[in-house]
Amino acid sequence: MQKLYIKGGKSLKGTVRISGAKNAALAIISASLLAQETVCLDNIPDITDVNVLLDIVANLGVEVVRKGPDSVEITTPDRISTITPYREVKKLRASNLLLGPLLARFCNAEIALPGGCNIGSRPMDLHIKGFEALGAALSLEHGFIKGCCSRLTGSKIYLDFPSVGATENIMMAAVLSKGQTVLENVAKEPEIVDLANFLNSLGAKIRGAGTDVIKIDGVDQLGGGRYSVIPDRIEAGTFMVAAAATHGNVTIENIISTHVEPLIAKLREANVEVLEEDEIIRVIAREELRPIDIKTLPYPGFPTDMQSQVMAMLTVVKGTSVIVENVFENRLQVADEFKRMGAKIKVEGRTAVIQGVQRLQGAQVKASDLRAGAALIVAGLIADGDTEICNTFYIDRGYEKIEQKLISIGADISRI
């Protein structure tokens, strides 16, 4: 089993380049199955989640050709398998994003239920409600969601919660349906806009992505094309927080600053200097940091995917900070690992109260999910002495070349 070792106490300084967005890439690779012709995708990050999804679609009979370190060509013939087994789905919950495209183009989909995960129960009721409204029949049989339909028909659908996955899945299903679909109370994350832009570049007719209402006029088929995925705002945010927490001075390249605006606002509130230029952000932490309060919310609120990393930073900020996790119920559990490093945190329900201590102490710790893993890296960077992080596979799911990037800006980190 691989482990990451960190010798804490170094300020991060230098320039780091951000890779393509994991969550946009996962949705766009899934959406590629809708295309009748070859699709070439650029800025695809080399991370486990993406590689697992590419293997899953290749196993369905989709032709996947690597065209370089961050490019991939995807060709989906008219006949492929539409069954995704549990042994694959359990490696990647986001493989449920194949349901929409498979139903829309092949009128059939059987996807093993992904089950819970370490950050909460993650139901799929909203996805299913949407597919049913479009005319698909869905059932749960032997641990599989089975869906079938004749051509889907446009409909008006209101999401009870602006779920990212449900918005993407229903949008992908509606693209090839008969007539118009109106999706209300949808997620507004940048990855939704990226997915809509990609689909429109293939001939889809989607309007309103990035607002509360998305309108989709169904088309008969989608063509091919070339598309470059947006930069990963969560990877960028993780480096921004690591820079701030280590009192560093880091320039982050290949970033769309509006996508990290909620984090920029909170870092500034914490007394961190953040300079925004075209596709570049500089984070400088000269002064003592101040405590802050955070509530996670759907975009443009503060992202749940940045909550753990910010908690790591706040463990050593003098005063009291409060974090309320509104999106995933189990996402405060990383606090237990920080406490093993000397942090003072009280968790009650969805709220964590963090009393800043002077220093964290390096310790052996365990990642329980992807962002908790990233947060433990931040904690290790600011701790006295050595930190050993196990379950590194969680981190590799979403961060490309994490230790090489950190070493290039002065961190003492290695993998064994």
CB 221 within 8 Å of CB 228:
no
The residue of the chain with the least Cβ separation from ligand UD1 equals: 165
Our CA angle for 390, 357, 285, nearest 5°, is: 85
What is the nearest approach in angstroms of ligand UD1 to the Cβ of residue 68? Answer: 24
CB 310 within 8 Å of CB 376:
no
Active site residue 107: no
What is the nearest approach in angstroms of ligand UD1 to the Cβ of residue 371? Answer: 8
What is the sign of the dihedral through the CA atoms of 171, 175, 177 and 178? positive
Edge-first strand listing for the sheet containing 320-324 = 293-295, 320-324, 351-355, 344-348
Q: Which is nearer to ligand UD1, 166 or 413 (CB)?
A: 166
Q: Which is nearer to ligand UD1, 76 or 95 (CB)?
A: 95
Residue 300, preceding peptide bond in cis (omega within 30° of 0): yes
Q: Which residues sit at the interface with ligand UD1, rule CB under 6 A?
A: 23, 26, 94, 120, 122-127, 161, 163-166, 187, 304-305, 327-328
CB 58 within 8 Å of CB 76:
no
What is the nearest approach in angstroms of ligand UD1 to the Cβ of residue 165? Answer: 3
Other beta carbons less than 10 A from residue 346's beta carbon: 12
What is the nearest approach in angstroms of ligand UD1 to the Cβ of residue 383? Answer: 26
Q: Which of 40, 107, 117, 390 is catalytic?
A: 117
What is the nearest approach in angstroms of ligand UD1 to the Cβ of residue 34? Answer: 18
Q: Which residues contact 54 (CB under 8 A, 6 or more apart)?
A: 29, 64, 72
Q: Which is nearer to ligand UD1, 127 or 266 (CB)?
A: 127
Q: Which is nearer to ligand UD1, 125 or 279 (CB)?
A: 125
What is the nearest approach in angstroms of ligand UD1 to the Cβ of residue 364? Answer: 27
What is the nearest approach in angstroms of ligand UD1 to the Cβ of residue 306? Answer: 10
What is the nearest approach in angstroms of ligand UD1 to the Cβ of residue 42? Answer: 19
Per-residue tokens: 110: 């059987």
Q: Which is nearer to ligand UD1, 240 or 327 (CB)?
A: 327
Q: Which is nearer to ligand UD1, 157 or 289 (CB)?
A: 157
- Cα 7 to Cα 35, 116, 286, 403: the distances in Å are 48, 34, 22, 12
Q: Give CA–CA dist 210/296, Å, rounded.
A: 18
Nearest residue to 111 via CA among 139, 135, 146: 146
CA atoms within 13 A on the CB side of 53: 29
Q: Give CA–CA dist 4/289, Å, rounded.
A: 27
What DSSP assignment string belongs to 90-103? TT-GGGGGGHHHHH
Q: Which is nearer to ligand UD1, 72 or 94 (CB)?
A: 94
Cross-strand pairs, 206 = 216
Q: Give CA–CA dist 178/250, Å, rounded.
A: 50
Nearest residue to 133 via CA among 110, 114, 160: 160
Side chain identity at residue 238, one-letter code: T
- Which ranges of 270-333 would DSSP assign to H, the alpha helix? 307-314
Q: List, by residue number, the catalytic residues.
A: 117
